[in-house]
Structure 1
Amino acid sequence: MSFRFWRRVQLFPGVSLNLSKSGASLSVGPRGAKYTIGPRGTRATVGLPGSGLFYSVQNPGRASQSRRGNRTQTEPPAPLPIPVKDRLSLGFFQRLVTPADERAFVDGLRALHEDNETEALAQLESAPEQADAAWTAGLLRLKRHELEAAYALLHNALQRQSALGQLYAKYQINATTSFSVTHEVTAHIGPRERGTRLALAELHQLRDEHDLAAEHLRLILAETSEDVVVKAALAELLLEAEPIPRANADQVVQLSAGLENETPVHAALLLYKARALRALGLDEVAVSTLTQAYRRKKDRPEALLRQIRYERALAYAAVGRRGDSRRELSAIYAEDPGFEDVAVRLGVR
């Protein structure tokens, strides 16, 4: 039996710093996609085809199994991890030869590990020339909703993007931004240009500067055009306004052109595509798109599947297929009576 010891320092809603024996991880969930990992079940981390990204899929209701009974005799034992506290401690002679800004970064992370956020900020902000220090301090300021200071720090980190991640790597600390896409799907991105732009997108959304938030997402797509995670975030952002502007709906359709239902992230983007099609008055095509999104159910979060069925019920009603619409709504009501306005639409409330 093995034990995993870790600590989580809450930064702001959707963002936390996870500290464990094996390292530290930083999780960032932009408001552009409003879902988070569910509290139960196991997670599998999978690569997105052709994107270089990873995402986690929650497997509800399936308890994780111990590997003790399945381990073969030839499998080497896992190496003992180095505690975070030891990695963030500089000895007397090491401090003498370590540059001041690098010492400030290490001391700042150790202070954060010890729940001393004020000291962490003081140390990290004393080393603005270190991209990793500016990046971490920017996220802490963002947590406090000190948006001007957060913007300055994150913009500084972005200007030094070639150095992002270097100090984290030197001290063997794993810093990962986690981009939540559905209730139980999260993409993991490291402290690079993409992660910094995602944090800036969150910041601009907090300021209701949706155009600037979208600009950062588009700049990511300019570098990695098949980044389906960022496509989903941008699509959700474009569909926020009510009613949905036709130009925004057209952009979402273009973002999702030729999309296949390969992963839960793809299914979420197909859901957004169907909403855009309905905003353009193309309800029949929306029905087909939602059917495509619902066709694969294995490893798909139940909340996502339920949302797809709800949207399909609305599309069915729009094209006059009221029997199909009611069947969908009835099935949803049986599973979750409080979902959206299903009870009202069925006339049971």
Structure 2
Amino acid sequence: MSLRFWQRIRLAPGVTLNLSKSTASLSFGPRGAKYTVSPRGNRATLGLPGTGLFYTIQDRKGARAATPTRDKLSLGFFWRLVTSPEEKALIDGLRALSEGDEDAALSHLEAANDLPDAAWMAGMIRLKQEAFAQARVHLESALAAGGRLGALLTKYDLAPQSTLPMAKGIFAHISPTERGTRLALVELCEASGDAEGATQHLERLLVIAPEDPVVLLSFVQIALDTPQDHDLLDRVIALTVATQNETPIDTGILLYRARALAVRGLPDAAIDVLTRAGRRRKDRPDRLLHQIRHDRAELYERVGRKAQARREFEKLFVEAPEFEGLAERLGLR
């Protein structure tokens, strides 16, 4: 069976930057999936492409009178006298970004690359431009700063967020923290064909964010690319043992858990996991549910339950007649 379901998509088109001119808010993210921080309250919006379903979480606690972003990013004359050239460049870069001048913003931010916050912002812009090598240099520099990352942005009361496409239908909200930067580097390494680099960042993420379902989804997806590594597959099985089918991300994780079990010679256990994964259909992408049905049908066939396999394949054909190789399998072509 095919081991890869959620093909990773090109990272850069899902990275968008916008600094609001009306209030001190900063919103990053592709259409339908973004996180906005503002004095009016924080909100997270997550959409599942192709389903028309969106999730928004609003938190108005702590809202205060709005301060225009331009005012926050303006350094008065006397303040500039005691501000380093690099910090001035960071602020000038953020001002340019808020005014929509991405090239000027990048020029200022890269001039202040010794500041981890400037490096992080420059890295996100370079990702947007698909300049992966330059983006990696900036993000690794920001990551190396440790606890200093995010400090200057906090000083100016700004909380940048970015939204990265981890897989089809799955987005991760990130910020200038170790977790957020490593998640960006995982996707960047994947886009650059550096599986070893991606794995190294994921190993660290499993230490600092072991409960993060996006981290777990990324890890199991990469692990299943090397099905001959039985120790790695056993880690997937161990790490996913507590996964409940509460969200679409959980459903995807269960699919990979079932695949790991199947490769390790436990097809009946894999069938049980797929059956559980397929029970929840609300809010799940059709493509994910179709893949679950297909994988379960293949396993039925593998254990000799031919009639059940045929029924599953026929049901799948009714739902998705265009599913790759299905018509041929059913003898319809």
TM-score, reference length from structure 2: 0.79
Q: 1:116 to 1:18 in 2, by over 3 A?
A: closer
Q: Distance in 2 between matches of 1:182 and 1:267?
A: 13
In structure 2, what is the equivalent of residue 284 of structure 1?
268
Say yes or no: does 1:25 pair with 2:37: no
Say yes or no: does 1:316 pair with 2:300: yes
Q: Distance in 1 between matches of 2:241 and 2:69?
A: 45
Q: Please tell me the residue identity of whatever aligns with 1:261.
A: N
Moved more, 129-138 or 142-151: 142-151
The equivalences for 1:56-67 within 5 A come to 56=46, 58=48, 60-61=51-52
In structure 2, what is the equivalent of residue 224 of structure 1?
209
Q: Distance in 1 between matches of 2:149 and 2:237?
A: 34
Say yes or no: does 1:337 pair with 2:321: yes
The equivalences for 1:82-101 within 5 A come to 82-101=67-86
The equivalences for 1:131-142 within 5 A come to 131-142=116-127
CA displacement 1:80-136 (0-9 Å, x = unmatched)? 755544543445555444432222112112323444333222211121232111111
Q: Distance in 2 between matches of 1:324 and 1:44?
A: 44
Moved more, 149-158 or 78-87: 78-87
Moved more, 253-262 or 88-97: 88-97
**Structure 1 residue 258 displacement after superposition:** 2.9
In structure 1, what is the equivalent of residue 278 of structure 2?
294
Q: 1:336 to 1:92 in 2, by over 3 A?
A: farther
Say yes or no: does 1:214 pair with 2:199: yes
Say yes or no: does 1:348 pair with 2:328: no
Moved more, 275-284 or 111-120: 111-120
The equivalences for 1:1-349 within 5 A come to 12-20=12-20, 21-22=22-23, 23-27=25-29, 56=46, 58=48, 60-61=51-52, 81-181=66-166, 183-241=168-226, 244-349=228-333
Q: Please tell me the residue identity of whatever aligns with 1:175.
A: P
**Structure 1 residue 347 displacement after superposition:** 2.8
Whether the 8 Å CA contact 2:28–2:35 is kept in 1: the answer is: no
Q: 1:326 to 1:85 in 2, by over 3 A?
A: farther
SS in 1 for 2:278: helix
Give identity over the alignment, percent.
42
Q: Please tell me the residue identity of whatever aligns with 2:310.
A: R
**Structure 1 residue 148 displacement after superposition:** 4.1
**Structure 1 residue 277 displacement after superposition:** 1.5
Q: 1:285 to 1:63 in 2, by over 3 A?
A: closer
Q: Which runs of 5+ in 1 are unaligned?
A: 1-9, 28-36, 46-53, 66-74
Q: Distance in 1 between matches of 2:34 and 2:161?
A: 16
**Structure 1 residue 288 displacement after superposition:** 0.5
Q: 1:315 to 1:44 in 2, by over 3 A?
A: farther
Q: CA RMSD in A?
A: 3.5
Q: 1:288 to 1:144 in 2, by over 3 A?
A: same
**Structure 1 residue 166 displacement after superposition:** 2.6
Q: Distance in 2 between matches of 1:104 and 1:302?
A: 47
CA displacement 1:11-56 (0-9 Å, x = unmatched)? 82332224444522334xxxxxxxxx886xx9999xxxxxxxx894
Whether the 8 Å CA contact 1:44–1:57 is kept in 2: the answer is: no
Whether the 8 Å CA contact 1:24–1:84 is kept in 2: the answer is: no
Q: Please tell me the residue identity of whatever aligns with 2:219.
A: L
Q: Please tell me the residue identity of whatever aligns with 1:215.
A: Q
Q: Distance in 2 between matches of 1:44 and 1:348?
A: 47
Q: How many residues align?
A: 311
Q: Please tell me the residue identity of whatever aligns with 1:276.
A: A
CA displacement 1:183-205 (0-9 Å, x = unmatched)? 43433232100111112222322
SS in 2 for 1:178: strand
Q: Distance in 1 between matches of 2:35 and 2:307?
A: 38
Q: 1:339 to 1:165 in 2, by over 3 A?
A: farther
Moved more, 156-165 or 326-335: 326-335
